[in-house]
């Protein structure tokens, strides 16, 4: 099957034997998935698609990597994340393993030359076409621990773990801030109730969809909620786990493409600051699924609370899924929506 994306079309014309090569952080593309390579990706949806096709696929924190004939790194939107992937490959693959780095010209791929030079790795341009470029080098030990990419910052009285490629890396997003300011009036029961046996009985169960660095999960857990957090990005799930641990809080964090790993589970409340970008393209798909399928994952009388950019077309989706919604807060940039499932 021919390649579908521009980066894969550039690779397809190389006429190389890519059998058993390691594909690192690639897009969905039938040409790749129909080949014989192996996958390393932080995108749970891509990992599951490869596995369902009977192919080897691993998340980014796999303890060991088999020695492939070569590897191809698809340069991501986040330059710092691209550097992490390079360090990860230099740390995990045998010295001398051929490595190609490919990306779109408007996505910063040409900066790879300076990054590789700073790591002491030689590099040459192999090809360019379709507004994309592919460079080639060889993996060598560079003596830099990839884990150094993890950082911490403080927000809302919480310590948050952060990693390149995670939404809001290193800072609190303004939309999330507005959501946090609004949640106390939406969920007044969250907090300590002296008459209850435990805080969790008062707060109920909450699902955080698109958990990012875990700020919402930690904020809710601190107030007694029984928290489940999901994100399609493995870096975000690990960040949330680290955030909960850093604040001595309990919660479950799972890699899930929206509700893909939550079949049959229901919650009292779903909260989200849903993404609407896939790399540089606008993609309403995950947010649409979040809203459309929310009633099936809410208990009777349950609530969906989400914040979104004011220009996004979510009111129609909320009305179609719930038959009702409210705008709880808003400014020029963001709106906080509430939709309730019927009690009976």
Looking at the structure, tell me whether residues 186 and 138 fall in a common domain. Answer: no
Q: Do 63 and 197 share a domain, yes or no?
A: no
In a shared domain, residues 230 and 308: yes
Residue that terminates a domain, selected from 86, 111, 145: 145
Q: What three-state secondary structure class fits 234? A: helix
Residues 126 and 166 in one domain: no
Q: State the total domains in the chain.
A: 2
Same structural domain, 126 and 164: no
Pair (37, 75) in one structural domain: yes
Domain for residue 190, yes or no?
Answer: yes
Domain assignment of residue 1, yes or no: no
The predicted structure's pLDDT at residue 278: 52
| pLDDT by position in tens, the chain (length 344) | 899 999 999 999 998 999 999 999 999 999 999 988 999 999 999 999 999 999 999 999 887 788 999 999 999 989 999 999 999 999 999 999 999 999 999 988 989 999 999 999 999 999 999 999 999 999 999 999 999 999 999 999 999 999 999 988 889 999 999 999 999 988 755 544 434 444 444 568 999 999 999 999 999 999 999 999 999 999 999 999 999 999 999 999 999 999 999 999 999 999 999 976 454 455 567 899 999 999 999 999 999 999 999 888 899 999 999 999 999 999 999 999 999 999 87
Residue 26 contacts residue 41 (beta carbons within 8 Å): yes
Would residue 313 count as lying in a domain? Answer: yes
Which pLDDT value is given to residue 312? 87
Q: Give the structural domain span for 258.
A: 150-340
pTM for this predicted structure: 0.92
Domain boundary among 85, 112, 145: 145
- 97 with 162, same domain? no
Q: 98-114: buried (b, 16+ CB within 10 Å) or exposed (e) per residue?
A: bbbbbbbeebbbeebbe
Query: Are 286 and 301 contained in the same domain?
Result: yes
Instruction: Please report the DSSP string for 119-139 in residue order.
Output: TT---EEEEEETTEEEEEEE-
Query: How would you classify residue 267: left for phi > 0, otherwise alpha for psi between -120 and 50, otherwise beta?
Result: beta
Residue 132, domain CATH: 3.40.50.150
Strands 277-278 and 281-282 come out as antiparallel
Query: How buried is residue 205: exposed, middle or buried, by Cβ count under 10 Å (0-12/13-18/19+)?
Result: middle
Residue 39 shares a structural domain with residue 72: yes
Is there a single domain that holds both residue 137 and residue 163? no
* Residue 300 Cα to chain centre, angstroms: 29
**Of the residues 121, 145, 169, the one at which a domain ends:** 145
């Amino acid at each position: 099957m021919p390649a579908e994306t521009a980066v894969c079309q550039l690779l397809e014309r190389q006429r190389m034997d890519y059998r058993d090569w390691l594909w690192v952080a690639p897009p969905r593309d039938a040409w790749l998935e129909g080949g014989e390579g192996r996958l390393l990706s932080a995108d749970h949806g891509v990992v599951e698609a490869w596995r369902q096709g009977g192919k080897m696929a691993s998340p980014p924190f796999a303890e060991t990597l088999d020695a492939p004939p070569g590897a191809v790194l698809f340069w991501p939107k986040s330059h710092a994340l691209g550097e992490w992937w390079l360090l990860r490959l230099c740390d995990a693959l045998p010295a001398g393993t051929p490595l190609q780095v490919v990306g779109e010209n408007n996505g910063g791929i040409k900066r790879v030359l300076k990054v590789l030079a700073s790591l002491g790795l030689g590099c040459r341009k192999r090809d360019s076409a379709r507004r994309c470029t592919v460079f080639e080098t060889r993996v060598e030990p560079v003596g830099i621990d990839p884990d150094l990419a993890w950082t911490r910052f403080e927000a809302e009285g919480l310590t948050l773990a952060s990693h390149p490629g995670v939404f809001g890396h290193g800072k609190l997003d303004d939309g999330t801030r507005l959501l946090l300011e609004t949640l106390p009036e939406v969920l007044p029961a969250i907090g300590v109730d002296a008459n209850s046996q435990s805080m969790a009985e008062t707060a109920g169960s909450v699902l955080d969809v698109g958990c990012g660095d875990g700020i919402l999960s930690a904020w809710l857990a601190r107030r007694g909620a029984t928290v489940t957090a999901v994100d399609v990005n493995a870096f975000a799930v690990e960040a949330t786990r680290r955030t909960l641990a850093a604040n001595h809080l309990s919660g479950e964090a799972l890699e899930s493409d929206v509700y893909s790993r939550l079949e049959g589970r229901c919650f009292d409340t779903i909260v989200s600051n849903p993404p609407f970008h896939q790399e540089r393209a606008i993609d309403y798909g995950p947010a649409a699924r979040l809203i459309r399928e929310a009633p099936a994952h809410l208990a009777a009388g349950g609530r969906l609370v989400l914040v979104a950019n004011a220009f996004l077309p979510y009111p129609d989706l909320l009305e179609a899924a719930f038959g009702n919604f409210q705008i709880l807060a808003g400014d020029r940039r963001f709106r906080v929506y509430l939709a309730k499932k019927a009690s009976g």
